Structure formats: structure tokens, C-alpha cells
Structure 1
């Protein structure tokens, strides 16, 4: 009995010692008060591409080309404490700091020469790339260092800016952090067909490696305010931006892909010219490739269910099937217009496939795809595309009962 008791006591002491280790905390951690939390980064083409000679630690000169300006949005202990102490509304909740050079990695390290709190990228929310830079450099070049950096979040949202990207990281709204604001706006996809599904850094990498053309959400900045406005067209072969789709053209792409979660279709009654607004409750699309010898064509079948949310036709009674059918046809015509316009833009102006036609061909006809994939954008620009649209109004509110 005494031996068993001693054995139990020994195990109890051993267990107590082992339990002390988790209580010691993370001895390799860094105090948050000693960090600058990077939450956003903007890349722009440098205003002056000059060559500078800098002195290194040994006093020897080295060449630095001013090609890219990186702007980092930081939340620092100093910013947080000053905002708290002075009430917040008059103070910015962030700090932007810029560096210019030819190496994104070197520019990050240059910040260490200007601040006593090193930049960390664990909480990076958005990366915005300026139009001029995206036209001059491939995205693969621009994001290479970020993909290699273990500290940089692969979930970081990537956007294109029509204008200076650094302007999108500024705000006139007191207490607002622009990087968080941009990141949160992407959640509004259920309310509009003019926002693309989010493109994270890791998803961008897969697009780049596939060498297929694609879209990136475009953001505009004016007077301290920002807005999602259309999308940038990225050519797969070069990885560079070649142009923009406007907001209506982006709507057309959303209908083709069937990836919309909500939104509306605004059209006008043929007879009266009055407004009809169809609210999207569901959307689906099926792209069907056809191959006959060397000839390729596509059929796009689009279906949607929704509600009549706004009706300016005074004489129209939503309870009557004839009126509902006319409203559906009017809305269908508008969707066909959106689709036709963006197909023409893709095939005739940009000559790129950014709506997933090639991916459907790859899935259904893999051998054909292997034959045409190396020059798919050019092939796509010449293939016939037919489409049909079927919208169904399932709900029209209660306004019809009052007419």
C-alpha cells in the first residue's frame, strides 16, 4: 500500500511540473506594443524613374532604381494611443508610409531605417495595384515577394485602382481604417451584380500560373471616398492589365458566369417607357460548348428567379399574368443586352476570355482544349456564342392589391 501511495505521489508531482510549461506563455513572442501592424499595401508606378546611389552599412554605394512606390497602411501603438487619448473623431486611426525603389522586399526593410517598430504583415487585409503599374509590369513580378513571404497573409484581397493606388488608402471619415473598409465592401456581393467574387492573393497565384485571362475588381478614389467601379482585364499570356470593363459590362459577366448572389435589373416598359425593376433572388448559368471538327461554338443558358421590386407602369397590375409576362420579357431583354455588350467587348476589343468559356471547354472536351489552349484567347475571339435568358417573377409584393 505504501509503495502504491508513493507511486501516486510521484505521478502527481510529475504532472504538476508538466502543467507549468503551458503557463510560461510564448517565450519567443514579440510584445504587440513593439509592432507596427500592416493592414494594407498599395503599389504604384514611381512618378520619376530615376537611378539613385545609396550608401550601405559599410559606407559603400549601391544603385537603386526608383520604379515602384509602395505605400503601407499601419496601425501602430502610437496611433492607437493618441486616438484614444484625444477622443478619436479628430484623429486618424491609421498611418500611411511610403517607400520608392525597385525591390518590394528591400522597400519593406527600408522602413526599419525610419521607425523603431518593425512592420508585420500577419494582419494584411488588402493589396491595391495602381493602373499604370499593372499595365507596365506583370502581376507575377509584383506579387512574387509577397507570395514567398511566410508572414504575408495569402487571404489578402487584391484590387486594381484606376488612378493612384495609394489614394485608396486615404479616408476623410474620422475613425475609419481604409484597408478594413475596402475589405468589408466585398461582402456586399449579395446586393449587386457589380462586385466580383473576392480575389485573394493565393487565388491570384493560381490564375497567374494557369496563364488564363481574368478580371480583378477595380476601385476608384475621389476626394477621400472610394467606390467599386467595374473590373480590370488581365491578359493571361502577359499577366498585365490591358483595359477595363465598366459597371454594366461587369454585370454582363456576372450573368454569364451565374455567380451573382443578388442585385437588380433595371429596364423600361416598351409601351409606356416607365421603369421596371427586377430584383434577383437566384441566378444560374450553364455554358455548353459544341465541337464539330475544328469548329467550336457555345450556348449560354441563363435562368433567374426574382421579384418585381419597383414598377412605374401605373396601368400595370402585377396580379395579372399578362403584365407579369411583359415585365419578364422586358427584364430578359435588358439582360441579353448586358451579355451581348460584354461578349462583344471581350471578343472584338480585348480578344480575351474572362468569363470561363475556356474552362468549360477544358472540362467537357479535354482533347480539344489541349489543342487550342496555347492560343485560346485568339481562338475565343472568333467563336460563335449564342445565349438565351429566362427570368421568372415569383414575388411582386402587395402593391397589386391596391390597384
Structure 2
């Protein structure tokens, strides 16, 4: 009996010891006050900072080729605490640090010899790549280390900038963090067709692996102000940028894909030249491939419901069906014009499919796709594309006469 009691006591003590281990918490962790939270990153063609130039002049810099300048937007404990305590309207809520070199990992590690709070990338919101760099380097090369590093969240957004990417991480608005501003702007897609569905790191990885051409949202920056303006075209075979779609081209592309959540169509009456604005409430598009022998063609069926939101015509009555039909036809004509121009730019100027025609062919006619996928962009540039557009005005507000 005593032996059994001792055995029970021994097991109880052993169990108590094991229970201490989960209570110890994350013993390999670092206090948040000792970290710099990286929230944004920008890649540009090389431009050395003053401290790097001084070190190079003294022969004390590390061995490297000056190919890329990486700018890291950090929220440090010092910045956060000083902003909170002082309440200075001119105090920035972030700090940007740049490093120049040829290895992304080495540049990140170099921050450790310039600050007592090492960079952590767990909260990285956005990565911006400059046009100049995206034209000369493949995205697979530029983002290889980032995609391998599990510190970066797969949801981190990737954008292209016209001009230096580091400028998009600057702001003149007190208390604003530019990386948060950029990542938050994509949520405005329900207001306009000129914001692409977000391209996260995980989505970008799948695009790179598929070898298909695709688009990245373009952002312009000037004097601390930014604007989403069009999209950069990334060639599938090279993973390099080859050109831009402007804002109207992006309108046309959104109609083709049917992925818009909102926006408007601005047209003008043929007789009076007066402005009419059709506001989109819903849209859908169906891309239908047709194969006859070795010939491939596509039909694009576009439908939308919306409202007459702005009418500068004084001669028409919005409550009359005849007038509404006229407005619908005007708006349909504008949409066809947008689609036609976008298709022409994809097929003739850039010779790339960034609208998903190949994907629909893969789904509907997989055997045909296996035959043409190796050189799809070239094949796509020569296939006929027909489209029909049907808009329906379901709402026209309270303005109008019953006479």
C-alpha cells in the first residue's frame, strides 16, 4: 500500500514538472519594445545613402554590387512613444531607412548595425517596386527572398510605382503611416473600376509559377501625395514589366473580366453633347471560347444594372422609357469603346493576355489549351474577339417630370 502511494506521489511530482513548461511562455521571443515593426518596403534602382557613400569612400562598407536600394518603413518604439507623448502635429509616425546592395537578405541584416531595434516583417503591409527596376529585373528574382521568408505575411500587397518607389512611402499628413494608406486604398474598389483586385504575395507567387502574364496596380506619387493610376503589365515569360494600361484601359479590362464592384460610365449625348453618368450597381461578364479546327475565337457577353446618377440633358425626361433607352444605348456604346480599346492594346501593342481569355480556354477546352499554352500570348494576339454589351437602368432618382 505504501509503495502504491509513493508511486502516485512520484507521478504527481513528475506531472507538475511537465506542466511548468507551457507556463514558461515563448522563452525565445523578444519584447515588442525591442523591435522595429516593418510595415512597408520599396525597391528602387540603386541610390546610395550618405552613410553608405561615406563608408564606401573609407573602404569600410561590406562587399556588394550597388544594384538595388531597399527602403524600409518602420514603426519604432521611440517614434510611437514620442508621437503619443508630445502630440507634435509635425511629428512623423514612421521612419524610413534605406540600404543599397545586391542581396535583399544582406540589406535587411545591415539594418542591425544601424539601429538597436532590429526589423521584424510580421506586420508588413505593402511592397512597392519601381518601374525602372521592374523593367530590368524579373519579379521572381526581386521577390525570391521575400517569398521564401516566412516572416512576411502571404497577404502583403505588391504594387508598381511610376517613379521612385520610396516616394510612395512618404506623407505630409501628420500621424499618417503611408504603408497603411496604400494597403487601405484597395478597399475603395466598390467606388471605382480603376482599382484592381489586390495582388498579394501568395497570389503573385501563383502567377509567377503559372508563367501567365498579369497586371499589378500602379501608384503615382508627388510631394507626399499618391494616386492609383492604371496598371503595370508583367510579361509571363520574362516576369518583367513591359508597359502600362492607363485608367480608361483599366475601365475596359474591368468590364471584360466582370470583377468590378462599382464605378461609373460617363458618356455624352450624340445630339446635344450633354453629359450623362451611368452608375454601376452590378456587373457580370462571360467569356466564351469557340474552337473550329485550329481556329480559336472568343465572345464576351457583358451585362450590368445601374442607375442614372447624373444627367445634364434638359430636353429629356428620365421618367420616360424612350429617354432611358436612349441613355442605355449611349452608355453601352461607351462601354464597347472602352472594351475595344483595351483589347486592341493587349493584342496589338503588347501582345499579352491579362484579361483571363486563356484561363477560360483552359477551363472549357483543356485539350486545346494544352496545345497552345506554351505560346499563348502570341496566339492570343491574333484571335478574333467579339463582344456584346447590355446595360439596364433600374433606378433614376426622384428627379423628373410626369408631364
Q: How does 1:281-296 map to 2 (within 5 A)?
A: 281-296=281-296
8 Å Cα contact 2:279-2:308 kept in structure 1 = yes
1:25 Cα deviation from its structure 2 partner: 3.3
Q: Distance in 1 between matches of 2:103 and 2:328?
A: 55
Alpha-carbon separation, structure 2, partners of 1:243 and 1:62: 35
Give the alignment's TM-score, normalised by structure 1.
0.92
Name the structure 2 match of 1:64.
64
Whether the 8 Å CA contact 2:217–2:230 is kept in 1: the answer is yes
CA distance in 2 between counterparts of 1:304 and 1:212 reads 28
Shift of 1:20: 6.0
Say if 1:53 and 1:64, in contact at 8 Å, map to a contact too: no
Map Cα deviations across residues 101-137 of structure 1 (whole Å, 9 max, x no partner).
0011110011111011110000000000000000000
Residues 1:61 and 1:309: Cα distance change in structure 2 (over 3 Å): closer
Q: Return 5+ residue gaps in structure 2 as ranges.
A: 1-5
Residue in 1 that maps onto 2:340: 340
User: Residues of 2 paired with 1:386 and 1:12: CA distance?
Assistant: 78
Contact 2:288 2:298 in 1 (8 A): yes
| 2:44 aligned counterpart, secondary structure | strand
2:315 maps to 315
The residue aligned with 1:277 is: 277
Two-structure CA RMSD over aligned residues (Å)? 2.6
Distance across 1 between alignment mates of 2:133 and 2:109: 21
Paired position in structure 2 for 1:217: 217
Partner residue in 2 for 1:392: 392
Q: Write the distance in 1 (CA, Å) between the matches of 2:393 and 2:7.
A: 77
Is 1:120 aligned with 2:109? Answer: no
Q: Which range is displaced more, 127-136 or 370-379?
A: 370-379
Q: Where do residues 375-386 of structure 1 align in structure 2 (5 Å cutoff)?
A: 375-386=375-386
CA distance in 2, matches of 1:397, 1:62: 67
- Cα distance in 1, alignment partners of residues 306 and 316 from structure 2: 18
Is the Cα contact below 8 Å between 2:319 and 2:402 reproduced in 1? no
Cα shift readout 1:219-262 (whole Å, capped 9, x = no counterpart):
00011100000000000000000000000000100000000000
> Counterpart in 2 of 1:297?
297
The corresponding residue for 1:191 is: 191
Aligned to 1:360: 360
Instruction: Give the secondary-structure state (helix, strand or coil) at the position aligned to 2:64.
Output: strand
Give the secondary structure class of the aligned counterpart of 1:391.
strand
Structure 2 residue aligned with 1:151: 151
Tell whether the 8 Å contact from 1:53 to 1:63 is kept in structure 2 after alignment: no
Shift of 1:23: 4.6
Residues 47 and 100, structure 2, Cα contact 8 Å, conserved in 1:
no
For residue 264 of structure 1, give the secondary structure of its aligned residue in structure 2.
strand
**Displacement of 1:389 after TM fit?**
0.2
Q: CA deviation at 1:84?
A: 1.2
Gaps of 5+ in 1: 1-5
Q: Which residue does 1:36 correspond to in 2?
A: 36
For residues 91 and 359 of structure 1, the distance between their equivalents in structure 2, rounded to whole angstroms, comes to 49
How many Å apart are 1:150 and its aligned residue? 1.2
Structure 1 match to 2:244: 244
Structure 2 counterpart of 1:3: none
Partners of 2:394 and 2:263 in 1: how far apart?
A: 15
Aligned length: 397
- The corresponding residue for 1:330 is 330
Report the CA distance between 1:29 and its aligned residue. Answer: 1.7
Question: What secondary structure is seen at the aligned counterpart in 2 of 1:65?
Answer: coil
Distance 1:124 1:402 in 2: 57
For residues 7 and 61 of structure 1, the distance between their equivalents in structure 2, rounded to whole angstroms, comes to 65
Find the counterpart in structure 1 of residue 100 from structure 2. Answer: 100
